Amino acid sequence: MTAAATAVATPPAKINIGKLALTSLAASSIEWYDFFIYGTAAALVFPKLFFAADLPPAVAQLAAFSTFAVGFIARPVGGVIFGHFGDRVGRKKALVTALLMMGLATTGVGLLPGYASLGVLSPLLLILLRFIQGLAVGGQWGGAVLIAIENAPPKQRGFYGSFAQMGVPAGVVLGNAIFLIMGATVPPDSFLAWAWRVPFLLSILLVLLALYIQLKLEDTADFQAAQALAAKKHEDEAAALAAESGVSLAQAKAKIRASQGSPILKVLAKNPKEIALAAGAFVAANGTFYLMITYAVAYATGTLHVPKTSILWVVVVASCLSAPVLPITAWISDRVGRRGVFMAGAALAAVWCVWPFFHLLDTASFPLMLLAIAGGLIFNSTMYGCQAALMTELFSTEFRYSGASLGYQIGAILGGGFAPLIATALFDKYHTSSAVAVYMVILCLTSLVSVFLLAETHGKEHRAAMG
């Protein structure tokens, strides 16, 4: 029996799905922590530190949010690179590489001198490091999600996929908590001078997690089975080609390997509609999320003159309140379907954004600001909880990492990448939060229509590698 056939025939080892789900949560949490602390720093620190002192405050804030957007521009690029890598050599290796990149880039931000020391080189290096962050997070999501979903029981993919999604509120809480601790324990001048760097330097822990995953975890059951099937098919094709053309078996195998197409090109050719609609589905969850955790911080401190610690506590508590919604709604989607749950979240988010959100936020009252952001994040989580299963179930194992990552990251750049920048510009032009509310509603309606046009993926078996 050939090695490939043996691999196909060998029963898979028993999977500890709980351990894998927690690893997925840890990887996602720390990765998003790194990505999110940049947004908080862009709202509170970067306008003063990395740009010329004579810039008007509004211009400096726009410049800081522009560097924030660079990470989103890089995310689809990261999705393409890591998608190809993850579909070719494995989910685990792609995830480990993404975690290492993120940890080192974020640490680099924490070590970067400001404009007063380096001049224009300082914001240029900041943009470069943010771009590397974007590449890393573009590859991380697919790996973290697939480690859980491709090992999960078929009827629990939504629930276990939500563990990677829970990394988002966990990252928000961790990031804002460390900024709150720094703000409470050091004077404002010291915070601006050095304490803001501590959250970035702590990201070196991500390197340790990457090493743990590399040493302790196997690749997903779906990927290993798909690789075995593909290897058997290619071996049979090589034997047939060698017999027909008279070349050696090694030459035939090399010719077949050279003829294999890129997973990205394959998924673009086979599933263009699914990629486009997956991207559209994500713009609301991503865009409204960043408006609530990043733009709202800058809006509350700069326009409403709310103390920095108050709005950060609002974001932390609201994230804690919304986090349980992710596994609950994902569990519900395992039973009634992904589309209905997702569309309910998009519709409720649109209603919340169109009137209560800014009316509550504009009171500058802690309880009402908490209600505004908690309500928005709860409806956001209703969409986001089942999104991992919805997106990955659209694509076959052969190019699932590529397809899901591409749809997710294109949606991220269209939804969240420019959201704080657009909101800042809208408010600066119209001088009313109503303009931002209309923008948020448009994002929600875009996702509602996109998911309506998608086929239901709930209950669909994962297809084999060559399916």
Three-state DSSP at 27 gives helix
Query: Given this model, what pLDDT does residue 30 score?
Result: 82
- Name, in order, each residue with C-beta under 8 angstroms of 368's C-beta and a sequence gap of 6 or more: 360, 361
Is residue 1 in a domain?
no
Residue 186's CB is within 10 A of a number of other CB atoms, namely 16
Q: pLDDT for 196-237, tens place per residue?
A: 899 899 888 888 888 888 777 787 778 888 777 766 776 766
Residue where a domain terminates, one of 259, 280, 311: 259
Q: What is the pTM of this model?
A: 0.83
* pLDDT grade for 5, boundaries at 50, 70 and 90: very low
Residue 6 inside a domain? The answer is: no
The answer on 188 and 131 residing in a single domain is yes
Residue 196 placed within a domain: yes
What band does 260 get if pLDDT is binned at 50, 70 and 90? low
Check pLDDT > 60 for residue 6: no
CA atoms of 29 and 133, how far apart (whole Å): 14
Mean predicted confidence (pLDDT) in 175-189: 84
Contact 49, 232 (CB under 8 A): no
Q: How much is the mean pLDDT over the chain?
A: 86
**355 and 229, same structural domain?**
no
Domain shared by 21 and 82, yes or no: yes
For residue 343, tell me if it sits in a domain: yes
**Using 50, 70 and 90 to split pLDDT, how confident is the model at 160?**
very high
Per-residue confidence (pLDDT) for residue 7, from 0 to 100: 42
Range of the domain at 176: 13-219+261-453
Are 127 and 231 in the same domain? no
Residue 318 belongs to a domain:
yes
- The amino acid at residue 47 is P
pLDDT for residue 345 is more than 60: yes
248: how many CB neighbours lie within 10 A of its CB? 11
- For residue 58, the domain's CATH number is 1.20.1250.20
Compare 277 and 144 and report the one with higher pLDDT: 277
Q: Is the same domain home to 320 and 240?
A: no
Residue 145's Cα: distance from chain center in Å? 10
Within 13 Å of residue 397, how many CA atoms lie on the same side as its CB?
26
Query: Looking at the structure, do residues 281 and 348 belong to the same domain, yes or no?
Result: yes
Please list the alpha-helical segments (H only) found in 323-365.
Answer: 325-336, 338-354, 356-361
**For residue 400, is it within any domain?**
yes
- Calculate ∠ Cα 421-64-98, nearest 5°: 90
Q: Which one-letter amino acid corresponds to residue 302?
A: G
**Does the residue 20 lie in any domain?**
yes
Within 8 A by CB and 6+ apart from 180, the residues are 309, 312, 313, 316
Is residue 366 in some structural domain? Answer: yes
Asked whether residue 324 falls in the same domain as residue 420, the answer is yes
| 213/229 same-domain check | no
Q: Answer with the residue of higher pLDDT: 262 or 117.
A: 117
Are residues 361 and 322 located together in one domain of the fold?
yes
Residue 302 Cα to chain centre, angstroms: 28
Same domain, 255 and 266: no
Give the chain's domain count. 2
Q: Please check whether residues 433 and 311 belong to one and the same domain.
A: yes
First to last CA, the chain: 24
pLDDT tier at 460, thresholds 50, 70, 90: low
Shared-domain flag, residues 203 and 243 = no
